[in-house]
Each structure stands twice: as structure tokens, then as C-alpha cells.
Amino acid sequence: MTRYAFDVVGELYFSRMFGFMKDKHDYRGYIASLDILLPVMTAACVMPTYVRPVFLLGGAVVPGVWDGLKKLRDIEQAAESCVHERLRLLEEGNEFKRKDIVASPFEIQQEKGAKVDFGIVDVKLEIYIALLAGSDTTAAAITSVLYHLMKTPSAYRRLVEEIDSATESGQPSRPNIRYNEAVKLPFLDACCKEGMRVHPSVGLTLPRHVPPGGCSISGQWFDAGTRVGVNAAVIHFDKSVFGDDADESKPERWFREDATNMDRYMFQARTRAPLYPHCFGAGARTCIGKNISLCAMYKVVPQLLRSYHLELAEPRVLWETHNYWFNKPSNVQTRLRRR
């Protein structure tokens, strides 16, 4: 799924897939680079600011830290390469068949960059963030949805029946399912929400600092400057919100009368702002890639289930998860059989 997610980023940002899926290889070593980089970045972000410089300087003698810092530079160079390639094409007068995401920051930079203080460096940062955070989170969410469906046969069958029934009536389309069709399937929506609930893609608390004057949060007073945050999993498994069965994966919970209230506590879901501001962050801190991630998920899950029968190769073996910045799942060996 990580390869698929990277190719989605390539298609939407640069009008071409990188080739992860077609060529079955780690293009430019992006995946391997992130696997080495993320533990180092996570440690640097959560430690006190006065310790961070010492930790990063220690990369000269600590192999793991040094490797992570080198991989960070690899991602930066990849972003620079993408910028230079697009600039070359623009200088040659190449016209693109469709407007991709990278075209927008380039237009801002060229048309009003000086006015809004947005230069080539800012364009590179947009691409850098996409390469750094645009794939692992999406892949984790999709993997969670599929894994928990395969672990819950009744939910799997119900979703397949919904997809097949909708296809017979003309929507979703063939051969490729459109996002605006997929989001109209209620049980698919429930399965995607439940997959993201039981396995949030982000493992950090994404902390904030209490503003001047301090504030009260859930009855507890915090002084100004205090760093506060909450892990999504702590909220997502709160039985006072999601019920006594919060530890279980049950897509049917999203059809309960209190579903609207549960939605309010989801850190990661397809909900409408401003009613549910916590999903994917809020305000200026809203995840800039949330629509790309949701689009990829709502398209690929029904597409796979409509075309193939999926089952775990070893149903009794639990998946493995690695919690750094992202909650990255692994060891989900799956058998596919064309329907």
C-alpha cells in the first residue's frame, strides 16, 4: 500500500506515477529513506528543545542518527530535483494536459511571488512535505481498513454486497470507481471510519502551547506556555464515547444514534467542517493533504473488493505495527483471487 500511496502522490502532484507499482521497486529509495528517517525525526521532535541540538550533533558518532540525517537530505534533494525538472519544462514552453497540484504553487510564485513572499524555496517545501508525509499515513489508513475487514468476515461480506449492488445500478462506474460515487456508499464510509478509528495513522500527540493567560482543559488548569497534546488512540478507544466495545473493530457502530457525537472525537475521518473541527486537525493546522489521502482510500478500497477476493494468508497471525511519527503497519500477508 505504501507503493500505491507514493504513486498517487506522483500522479496528483507531478502528472505521472513514480513507478513503484509498475516497476515493483522503491523509486529513488524513498520508502527506505523514510523508514530510517522517521525514528530519528520523532525522537528529535519530542525531546526538550535544549537537548535537540546535542542529539542532532550526536549524529556524527551515532550511526542510527547519522543515517537518518543523511536520508533527510536525500528527501530534500528529491524535492529539489522535482522543482528543477518542472522549471526546465516550463522554460521549454511545455504545456501540460492537465493542471496538477505542483502547478498551483508555481503559478503563485511566478505571478505574485514577490508580493506574497512566496519563492522557489517555498515551492520546494510544498513538494518536500508531500514526499515526507503524503504516503505512509495514507498507506497505514488503507491497510488498517482492509486488515480489519479481513479479520471481520461479516463486515467484509456486507461491504462487498453493498459495492456489488451499487455497481449493478450503475454506480460506482466501471472500470474505475470515482471518489464522488464511493463516498455515497454508507457502509464503505463506516468501514473507512472504523479502520481509521482503531488504527490512527499518526502516533504523536501533535502538541500545542497554552496561550498567554493559561486555560482550563477538561477541568484541569494549565499555565501559559505548557505543552499539551493528546494521542488520537487515547480518544478513539474511549469507551465513554465509542461504547463498551470500543476495543473492537465494528463498522456498524457508525449507524448508532450517537454516531454524530462519535464523529466529533475522530482525529481522522471524512467529516464536514466546521461541525467536526478535530478531524485531520483544525484551522491553520489542518492537514493539507487530507483530501488526497481520503480520495485515495475511498477509491482503492471498493476497487479492490469489487475486482478481487482478499483474505489473510495466515488469519491467526496478527499484524505488526511500528509507532514512530506514524503508526506504520506491516506483516499483512494477503492472498488475492480475481472475482
Task: Give 166-222 pLDDT, tens digit per residue.
Answer: 999 988 888 889 999 999 999 999 999 999 999 999 888 878 899 999 999 989 999
Look at residue 333 in the predicted model and tell me its pLDDT. Answer: 94
Mean pLDDT value of segment 34-62 = 80
Distances (CA, A) of 210 to 226, 282, 286, 299: 5, 16, 18, 39
Mean pLDDT taken over the chain:
85
Nearest in space to 124 (alpha carbons), one of 154, 79, 183: 79
SS3 of 49, please? coil
Which amino acid is located at 179 in the chain? Answer: Y
Look at residue 75 in the predicted model and tell me its pLDDT. Answer: 75
Confidence band for 308, pLDDT divided at 50, 70 and 90: very high
191 is in an annotated binding site: no
Considering only residues 201 and 60, tell me which one the structure prediction assigns the higher pLDDT: 201
Nearest in space to 292 (alpha carbons), one of 179, 198, 140: 179
Whole-prediction pTM: 0.87
Considering only residues 249 and 230, tell me which one the structure prediction assigns the higher pLDDT: 249
Residue 271 has pLDDT above 70, yes or no: no
Residue 83 has pLDDT above 60, yes or no: yes
Residue 20 has pLDDT above 60, yes or no: yes
Considering only residues 156 and 13, tell me which one the structure prediction assigns the higher pLDDT: 156
Nearest in space to 38 (alpha carbons), one of 322, 228, 233: 322
Residue 13 has pLDDT above 80, yes or no: no
Residue 63 has pLDDT above 80, yes or no: no
Look at residue 26 in the predicted model and tell me its pLDDT. Answer: 87
Nearest in space to 187 (alpha carbons), one of 220, 165, 215: 165
Look at residue 113 in the predicted model and tell me its pLDDT. Answer: 86
Residues 227 and 134: their CA atoms lie apart, in Å, by: 26
- % the chain with pLDDT above 70: 91
Alpha-carbon 302 to chain mean position: 18
106-135 pLDDT, tens digit each? 888 888 888 889 888 888 888 888 877 778
The three grid cell numbers given for residue 216, joined into one nine-digit string = 482550563
Look at residue 302 in the predicted model and tell me its pLDDT. Answer: 97
Which is it for strands 227-228 and 208-209: parallel, antiparallel or unpaired? antiparallel
Domains belonging to the chain, first-starting first, are: 2-133 (no CATH), 136-338 (1.10.630.10)
Look at residue 273 in the predicted model and tell me its pLDDT. Answer: 42
Residue 278 has pLDDT above 60, yes or no: no
> Do the beta carbons of residue 137 and residue 296 sit within 8 Å?
no
Look at residue 208 in the predicted model and tell me its pLDDT. Answer: 86
Residues 128 and 124: their CA atoms lie apart, in Å, by: 6
Look at residue 236 in the predicted model and tell me its pLDDT. Answer: 93
Residues 269 and 144: their CA atoms lie apart, in Å, by: 13
Q: List own/partner pairs for 149-155 with CB under 8 A and 24 or more apart.
A: 149/191, 149/195, 149/305, 149/310, 150/310, 150/311, 150/312, 150/315, 150/334, 151/249, 151/312, 151/315, 152/249, 152/250, 152/251, 155/191, 155/249, 155/250, 155/251, 155/252
* Beta bridge partners of residue 221, listed in sequence order: 216
Helices (H) and strands (E) in the chain, counts: 15, 8
Q: Does 212 sit behind a cis peptide bond, omega within 30 degrees of 0 on the bond before it? A: no
